[in-house]
Structure 1
């Protein structure tokens, strides 16, 4: 299988958030297809607020699929994380992710664990953070295994996260669970900040890679700055990655222009 292209979509988010298509999913799904993408990544605060059957029908009609579900809006909008100091908010985050897994099983896509994992500073010290996150992930992995869903834990740069910044650090943590249902989520924008040898570090992560976000070094559409996408794509192919390259970038100068630039440039790289 060859790599395919996805585009991020959100119904409502802050203007500066790096999601490209905005507005009702019923409009974004066919628009993603019109723009030449193979799949769409949906960013959702609460799966109870979306109609899975309508999404599936829209994808069938448009001839594309859902590649992934982003869960960060659960934190951005509702302030819940898996390590939150308040137990009710930890429980809400856990239950929310259970429902995300159920939704992903219906849509046949991966679930991203990014902002909802929380930060060490939220807890106060690393040991307690890791204890809470590990306990939550063990529970979620068991549910994902039953549902046939893959969870992907994102490596995020040091300016946005105080833990799991590099591919190596994140991969080591993931390997401790011993499950193929928890994989590594990489992002070119974050790798540009953190990785010393991007292609070599992708090779070292190998089959653990489960999802890829792409944006250029300026967080705008690929091809607008200096990131080496050719090297990254070659390394991903060599590692046996056959998933999507999902465009998560700033919608500048406007969403359609950014999407067309990304699609055209990445198709050229592929």
Structure 2
């Protein structure tokens, strides 16, 4: 079976504590939670070791685990990976989040955060790749040292003009050339930008450049809340031998976050059972 994790921001937005979120995830059959750092409070990259240990214990006591972090810069609107004047402060935050992820027991960080990556004017695609490689190299080195995988997320052009296809993200991965720096496939973003997500999975997972998968519908809901062909997506993941976690990442709810989480895992598990 695929290992499934639920992205926590909708649950947090409805007032559930981290422990309550983990209890719900376990009750539904998820392996754990993928956290948006901003749900842990202001400046989560500065959380002290004792508090981080308490957070990890509270989740693991339920039988769940923290699988990773995503939406890394949502709590830092003034930062940017594409504004050189913000590079030092942005790198410091990201390296702090790498450390936070490792201390929480997470394995992967997903860098989306479209608001903090406007495309610099005047750069060709190749120049942009090198520009971003210069920024991310120290972050990738920190991830390597911490034993986690840092993924740059391709986003749809409606959100950003910086890294909008898996191929562009893969070029950045190859430029940095460290095992701890990968890209990922977000079904919503890929479905809007590069139709036939299942084909993209078959194209890219065998390359070893994919470090994570997000399962969500192009209508912003969880799998099962729209018409995206998750039976094909799940088949592609199984056929390519995907062994990493799949993070269920809806951006809107059906009734509430609890029901949304239930719909997501029920849909994916039913797709798996159909393959038997």
TM-score, with structure 1 as normaliser: 0.86
RMSD: 2.2
**Unaligned 5+ residue runs, structure 2?**
39-43
Q: Is the alpha carbon distance of 1:4 and 1:190 closer, same or farther for their aligned partners in structure 2, counting shifts above 3 Å?
A: same
Instruction: Using the TM superposition, name which of 222-231 and 23-32 deviates more.
Output: 23-32
* Distance of 1:161 and 1:257 partners within structure 2: 30
> Could you tell me whether the CA contact under 8 Å between 1:82 and 1:132 is conserved in 2?
no
Q: CA deviation at 1:228?
A: 1.0
* Distance of 2:165 and 2:123 partners within structure 1: 17
Alignment of 1:34-183 (within 5 A): 34-45=27-38, 46-49=44-47, 51-72=51-72, 74-85=73-84, 87=85, 89-106=86-103, 107-115=105-113, 118-121=116-119, 123-126=120-123, 129-183=128-182
Q: CA deviation at 1:124?
A: 2.4
How many aligned positions are there?
A: 257
* Distance of 1:47 and 1:81 partners within structure 2: 16
Q: CA deviation at 1:77?
A: 4.1
Paired residue secondary structure (1:191): helix
1:228 aligns to 2:229 (yes or no): yes
* Distance of 2:152 and 2:176 partners within structure 1: 12
* Distance of 2:128 and 2:169 partners within structure 1: 15
Paired residue secondary structure (1:226): coil
> Could you tell me whether the CA contact under 8 Å between 1:189 and 1:219 is conserved in 2?
yes
**Unaligned 5+ residue runs, structure 1?**
11-18
Cα deviation, 1:51-108, whole Å, max 9, x if unaligned, reads 3212221222111111110143x345432122225x2x32221001111111122213
* Distance of 2:131 and 2:171 partners within structure 1: 17
> Could you tell me whether the CA contact under 8 Å between 1:120 and 1:129 is conserved in 2?
no
Paired residue secondary structure (1:136): helix
> Could you tell me whether the CA contact under 8 Å between 1:209 and 1:241 is conserved in 2?
no
* Distance of 1:217 and 1:143 partners within structure 2: 33
Cα deviation, 1:175-227, whole Å, max 9, x if unaligned, reads 22222211122111111111144223222212221111111221112112111
